[in-house]
Amino acid sequence: MIHELTNPVTKTLVTHLRDQRRDSVRFRHTIAELTKQLVYEALHDFALSKKNITTWTGELECKTIDEESIVVVTVLRAGIPMLDSVMELLPEAIAGFLAMKRDENTHESVLYYDRLPSCKGKTVLLVDPMVATGGSMIDALKLIKSREPSRIITLNIIGSPQGLDVVKSAYPEVDIYIAQIDEKLNDDKYIIPGLGDAGDRSYNTVE
């Protein structure tokens, strides 16, 4: 199921991201803020556990998300600010890393690094800002599914209708939380209007 955020603050931050004047620090900061909004929406029905903590008045049983039941998987490079943002909210969550690069001629993603932790029985939050053709997301989901998580949720900033359809058809059980669904892909498979190359915008590279 695809859940597009509708909050006006979300749309305002997406507009900030599209603005070419936004430097890399503010670009990554805005990605991180949007990620927090996505986490709140995506985990709105997450079960709470009980935990004993020491407060200023003594021992108290409190409610908490079992953070260690969550694995946050990022796709390098553009997903790094999203991972950092989720880990700020859920510091006990476990991080996993995949590195993929789209071949700019074939537009297909190529996996070049896999450092997934054990995902068995856990909730996986897969974070990647862009869903263009959907190829990177499909490859990442295939790998993650093979590690037997109990549930997979993706957090994305901008997607194309085509790419999201591809992911939804291949993995209908996956919940996709996204800040903005854009119009289309151009001939180079970039999202229109999109924001350009999220990895390059984040780290001042031009390819």
- Interface with ligand URA (CB under 6 A): 78, 130, 132, 190-191, 194, 197-199
Minimum Å gap between C-beta 189 and ligand URA is: 6
By CB under 6 A, is residue 101 in contact with ligand PRP? yes
- For residues 128 and 85, the answer to whether their CB atoms sit within 8 Å is no
- Select from 30, 28, 69, 21 the least CA-distant residue to 48: 69
- The stretch near ligand PRP (CB under 6 A) out of 20-28, 35-43, 50-58, 96-104 is 96-104
Which of ligand PRP, ligand URA, none is residue 194 near (CB under 5 to 8 Å by kind)? ligand URA
Task: For the segment 141-200, give every residue that binds ligand PRP (CB under 6 A).
Answer: 163, 189, 197-199
By CB under 6 A, is residue 96 in contact with ligand PRP? no
Minimum Å gap between C-beta 130 and ligand URA is: 4
* Mask for 74-93, x = binds ligand PRP (CB under 6 A): -x-xx---------------
- For residues 4 and 180, the answer to whether their CB atoms sit within 8 Å is yes
CA 117 to chain centre: 17
- The stretch near ligand PRP (CB under 6 A) out of 12-20, 45-53, 126-134, 149-157 is 126-134
Minimum Å gap between C-beta 102 and ligand PRP is: 4
- For residues 116 and 96, the answer to whether their CB atoms sit within 8 Å is yes
Minimum Å gap between C-beta 110 and ligand PRP is: 9
Task: For the segment 2-61, give every residue that binds ligand PRP (CB under 6 A).
Answer: none
- For residues 192 and 184, the answer to whether their CB atoms sit within 8 Å is yes
Q: Which two tokens stand for residue 37?
A: 């909004």
Minimum Å gap between C-beta 61 and ligand PRP is: 41
The C-alpha atoms of residue 86 and residue 158 are separated, in whole angstroms, by 17
- For residues 170 and 161, the answer to whether their CB atoms sit within 8 Å is no
User: How many CB atoms neighbour CB 68 within 10 A?
Assistant: 11
The C-alpha atoms of residue 167 and residue 202 are separated, in whole angstroms, by 25
Q: Which two tokens stand for residue 22?
A: 């936004």
User: Could you list the residues that contact ligand PRP (CB under 6 A)?
Assistant: 75, 77-78, 100-102, 109, 128-137, 163, 189, 197-199
